[in-house]
A and B are shown apart, each in its own frame.
Chain A
Amino acid sequence: MFRLLCMFVTIALSSQLLAKDIDPASYGYPLTNPFESTIATTPLQLRGPMSADQDIDQQDFSLRLRPEREFTLPDNFWAVKSLHYRVARQSGPAPLIFIISGTGADYASSQTESLKRVFYAAGYHVVQLSSPSSYDFMAAASRLATPGLSAEDAQDLYRVMLAVRAQQKDLPVTGYYLVGYSLGALHAAFVSQLDDQRHGFNFRRVLMLNPPVNMNTSIRNLDRLVQVRLENIAGNANFYELILEKLSQYFRYRGYINLDEALLYDFQQSSFKLSNEQMAMLIGSVFRLTVADIAFTSDLINRRGLITPPGYPIDNGTRLEPFFKKALLCNFDCYVTEQVIPLWRERYGGGSLTQMIDEISLYAVEDYLRQTSKIAVMHNADDMILGPGDIGFLRRTLGDRLTLYPYGGHCGNLAYRVNVENMLEFLRD
C-alpha cells in the first residue's frame, strides 16, 4: 500500500513538470486552420469578458526621450518625434500591467487594444506600449533604431517604462505585471531579466504570449509565406486585387457591405473564402510591409545610405515612393543581413550569424526562464512563427509554466475565453 502511494506521489510530482497541454476536444476554439485563426482571430461571442471602449477611462500621453532626433530627423517625422503611449486607469488603487506590442505594432494596434480590454475588465491599470520594432518607437525612443538586437531593445523598453512611471506618478499602483505578445513576448523575457538586476518594478508575474523561440526560424518562416503558389495568379495579376475581388463578390452576394469584426469570420464561412495559400500570402504581405517600414526607418535614422541617400533633403512634400519601393524589395532576411548584423558585429566585436541568433533568441534567456517561476509562456501548436524543436525547447525550459493550445495560429486565440481565463488565473495567483 505504501509503495503504491509512493508511486502515485512520484507520478503526481513528475506530471507537475510537464507542460499544460490543452486538449483539442474540450478546448472549443472554432478555427482549426492556423491561417484563418491568425487573420480572423476570435469570433465576438466566444471572447472572454472585456470592457467596452466607452467604459474605459483612458488617455494617450507622450514622452520626449530622444530630443536630439527633433533636429536630426526630417520634418515629415514630426508626428513620431515624441513617443506616445496609452494609459487606462482604474478609479482606485490597482495593480498595473504593461503590454508590449508585437512586431511592427504600435500601442494602439488592435491586438494590444484587445488585451487592454481584457486586463482592464479584470481590474488592472493598463499601459500600452509600442513595439521597439514599430515606426514610432524606433524614431522616438530607440537609441540604435535597429530593432532585432533583443537585449538592446529590452533596454530601450525598460527606459520607456521607467519614464512612463515617472510621468504617471499619481497613479495608485499596488504591483507591477508585464505581458507581451509575439515579438513583444520575447522582449518581455529580456525586460524581466533586466528588471531582476535593477529592481525598478519587481514584476510579480510576466506573461509571454506566442513568443518567437528562434529568431532565425521565425524570420525565415515569415519570409516564406509570400513564396506560396497562388492558382489564379499568372503573369501580371495583382494579388491584392484578387483578394478585393473576392471580397466584393462576397458583398454583392450578401447584398450589403459590413466592415465589422465579424466580417472576416463570416467571409471565411462563405463559398468565397480564401485558400490557405491566399491567407498565407496576406499574412506574409502584412509582415513584409512592416519590414519595409523598419528597413526604411532604420536606414534613414542611422544614415546608412542603403535606401535613402544620406543628406537627401526630405520635407513634408517629398515623394517617398522611390524609397518605399526600394524598401519593399528587402525582406526580413535582407534587413537582418544588411542592417542588424553589421551593427551587431560593430558593437560586439565580430561573431558569426549563429552566435547572433543565439543572443537575440529565447536561447539567450534560457537559464533565466528555467529558474524564474514568475514567468509563463502560452503558445499554440500551430503557430507559424515556430519551427520543429521550438516547442520542445519551451517544454524543457519552462515545464509546467508552458501552456500549449492546439489551435489559434499566431495570436489568433488571445481573446478566446479559455485563454483569457488562463491568463488572468496565472496573473492572479
Chain B
Amino acid sequence: MIRPRYLSSPGSTGRRRGSLFLPVLLLLGAIGIQAAPREADEDGFAYPLSRLEFNPGLDQRIFERSTFDALDIYDPYEPFNRRMYHFNYRLDQWVLLPVVRGYRYVTPRFVRTGVTNFFNNFGDVANLANSLLQLKIERSMQITARLLFNTVFGIGGLWDPATRMGLPRQVEDFGQTLAYYGTPPGPYLILPMLGPSNLRDTTGLVLNYGLETEVNFLGYHRASNKYPALTALRLVDLRHSVEFRYGQLNSPFEYEKIRYIYTRARELQAED
C-alpha cells in the first residue's frame, strides 16, 4: 500500500507524448497508479486550482456583492433585537443549558426520546391542521397516518413507529400557512427565550397556542394548566432537541449571519 515515491508519481510526460505512451500508462495503471489525467508534477502536487476557470482581469466582486445582498433584511427594531439576542445568549448559558445538562444527567436516554416523541406527536396536530389549510392533500394524509400509528401503537406518542414505517415527521406551522396565503414576513424579531422570528411567524406561534387550547389533544392543554411542570418539561425538551448553541458561529457578526440563515430557511420551508 505504501509505495516509494518513484513508483507513484504519474508522469505528466505520458500525457504529453500522447498515444505512444498509452501502453505505458496502462501498465502504470496496472501497478496501481491512476491513469486518469492528473497534472501532477514530480513532487506529486496535483495543482487543484488548475481545474478552475477564473474571471479574467477585473475583480467581479461576486462574493462581496452576494454577501451585501444577504445583509439586506428588513430589521427596523435592530437595537431591540440585538439586546434580546444577548439576553437570550446569557439566559441560554446560565439557565437553559445547565438545566438541559441536568435533565440529560438524571434521565436515561429512552426516557428523553420518549418525551421528545410525545411532544412531536402532539405537535403533529398542528402540522396536520396547517397541512390541510395549505391544501396539501398527500402530506395531510401522511401526517394523519403518523398521528394514528404513533398515538395508538406508540402509546400516546411515546414511541415513533411511523418514522420507521417510512413516514418521516414533516413540520408545517402557522407561519408557513400565512406565507402560503401571501402574508409577507414583516420585520425580523428576536423573541425572548425562543430566539429568531419575524412578525408573521410570531403571529403563527400565537395561532398555534390558540389551536392547542381549542383542540386539547390527549387532554394535554388542560393538564398543562393544572401542572405547570408539563410546560417546563416541554421547554426543556425543546432546548434539549435543538442543536443550536449561541456562539457556535464564533463570529462578531453572528447576529447578522443568523438573521440571514433564519430568514432564508423560512422562505425555503414556505416554498416547500
Contacts and interface: CB of A to CB of B under 8 A. Distances in A.
Say whether A and B bind each other: yes
A23 B109 contact: no
A226 B62 contact: yes
Contacts of A33: 51
Interface residues of B, number: 69
A51 B54 CA distance: 42
Interface stretch (B81-89, B147-155, B199-207, B215-223): B81-89
Contacts of A392: 42-43, 45
B50 to A, nearest CB: 10
A109 B62 contact: no
A15 B203 CA distance: 71
Contact of B34 (A19, A248, A390, A406): A406
Nearest to B89: A79
Interface in A317-354: 317-321, 324-325, 328-329
A380 to B, nearest CB: 8
A25 B62 contact: no
Given A34-B48, A324-B256, A240 B66 contact: yes
A386 interface: yes
Contacts of A289: 67, 251, 257
A245 B183 CA distance: 21
Interface stretch (A86-94, A202-210, A292-300): A292-300
B233 interface: no
A24 B34 contact: yes
B52, B54, B93, B252, most chain A CB atoms within 10 A:
B252
A231 to B, nearest CB: 9
B2 A320 contact: no
A146 B54 CA distance: 31
A395 B256 CA distance: 44
B106 interface: no
A365 interface: no
A388 interface: yes
Interface in B69-114: 69-71, 78-80, 82-83, 86, 89-90, 93, 109
Nearest to A131: B250
Interface string A270-284: 000000110011001
Contacts of A236: 65, 69
Nearest to A76: B86
B53 A281 contact: no
Contacts of B242: none
A162 interface: no
Given A24-B34, A224-B49, A390-B45, A134 B5 contact: no
Contacts of A227: 54-55, 59-60
A282 B245 CA distance: 23
B130 to A, nearest CB: 16
B4 A244 contact: no
Contacts of A386: 45
A166 to B, nearest CB: 24
Interface in B244-272: 245-248, 250-253, 255-257, 264, 268, 271-272
Given A292-B253, A389-B43, A244 B2 contact: no
Given A293-B251, A395-B43, A288 B63 contact: yes
B226 interface: no
A251 B272 contact: yes
A18 B253 contact: no
A324 B253 contact: yes
Residue of A54, A256, A288, A321 most packed against chain B (CB within 10 A): A321
Contact of B268 (A34, A224, A244): A244
B271 A21 contact: no
A381 B45 contact: yes
A233 interface: yes
A269 B83 CA distance: 43
Contacts of B2: 20-23
A102 B79 CA distance: 33
A424 interface: no
Contacts of B45: 381, 386-392
Interface residues of A, number: 89
A324 B64 CA distance: 11
B3 interface: yes
Nearest to A389: B43
Contacts of A318: 79, 82
A135 interface: yes
A329 B61 CA distance: 9
Nearest to A392: B43
Nearest to A279: B52
A284 B271 contact: no
A155 interface: no
Given A108-B248, A317-B83, A381-B45, A24 B33 contact: yes
B268 A54 contact: no
A18 B93 CA distance: 51
Contacts of A387: 45
B92 to A, nearest CB: 10
Interface in A68-99: 76-80
B134 to A, nearest CB: 15
26 contacts: A21-B3, A22-B2, A23-B2, A27-B1, A34-B48, A34-B51, A35-B48, A79-B93, A80-B247, A109-B250, A130-B250, A227-B60, A236-B69, A240-B66, A240-B264, A241-B66, A248-B271, A284-B63, A289-B257, A293-B252, A316-B82, A319-B82, A328-B63, A390-B43, A395-B43, A406-B34
Question: What are the 9 closest A-B residue pairs judged by CB atoms, nearest first?
Answer: A317-B79, A25-B32, A239-B66, A382-B46, A391-B43, A106-B250, A34-B48, A226-B63, A392-B43
